[in-house]
Amino acid sequence: MNVTVAEIKANLSQILARAAKGEEINVTKHGKPYVKIAAEKPSKKKSLYGVWKGKFIVPDDFDELGPEWDEYIK
């Protein structure tokens, strides 16, 4: 859809509603292309849950201190 700046001023809500539905709006000023209005694309953010699954293994004794710590524990 092509509209002029004057049409944008007069019908902003309707034009934005059309853009939000996926229509690309080309705005002209003095007969020349000025700006394009289009709906924002949804971000494709991945969930962080399970992102490290299968990347490493936690050993069964991960919370046990080794003999090098004996002098610090009394």
Measured distance CA(14)–CA(39) in Å, rounded? 14
Q: Which of 24, 22, 27, 35 is nearest to 8 (CA)?
A: 27
User: What pLDDT, in 10s, does the model give residues 10-38?
Assistant: 999 999 999 999 999 999 999 999 999 99
SS3 category, 26:
strand
Give the pLDDT of residue 26. 96
Q: How does residue 63 score in pLDDT terms, banded at 50, 70 and 90?
A: confident
Q: What is the pTM of this model?
A: 0.54
What DSSP state is assigned to residue 11? S
Residues with Cβ within 8 Å of 48's Cβ and at least 6 positions away in sequence, in order, are: none
